[in-house]
């Protein structure tokens, strides 16, 4: 019998509602940056692009973490 997987809680250093960098979002979610890129390429994760920078909205990170709308 395995223990239940804990749901990530918001990082105390990340303001609620502000977008996440790919590296920060992947680290918070416990997935690789490549896996997050695959989800983005498949259209399962919405992102905002500012120049070359790719940001993941806070709502998307919470949805993936299972603790948001």
Query: What are the residues whose beta carbons fall under 8 Å from the beta carbon of 67, sequence distance 6 or more?
Result: 7, 8, 9
Question: Are the C-beta atoms of residues 16 and 10 closer than 8 Å to each other?
Answer: yes
pTM of this prediction exceeds 0.75: no
DSSP β-bridge partners for residue 10: none
Give pLDDT, residue 3. Answer: 65
- Residue 60, in any domain of the structure: yes
* pLDDT tens figures, 8-34: 555 556 778 899 999 999 999 999 999
Closest CA to 54 of 15, 31, 24, 28: 24
Query: What are the residues whose beta carbons fall under 8 Å from the beta carbon of 23, sequence distance 6 or more?
Result: 33
What is the domain count for the chain?
1
Domain housing 30: 20-65
- Residue 14, in any domain of the structure: no
């Amino acid at each position: 019998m395995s223990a239940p997987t804990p749901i990530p809680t918001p990082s105390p250093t990340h303001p609620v509602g502000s977008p996440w960098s790919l590296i920060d979002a992947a680290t918070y979610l416990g997935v690789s940056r490549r896996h997050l890129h695959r989800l983005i390429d498949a259209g399962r994760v919405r992102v905002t692009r500012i120049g070359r920078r790719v940001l993941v909205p806070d709502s998307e990170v919470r949805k993936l973490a299972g603790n948001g709308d």
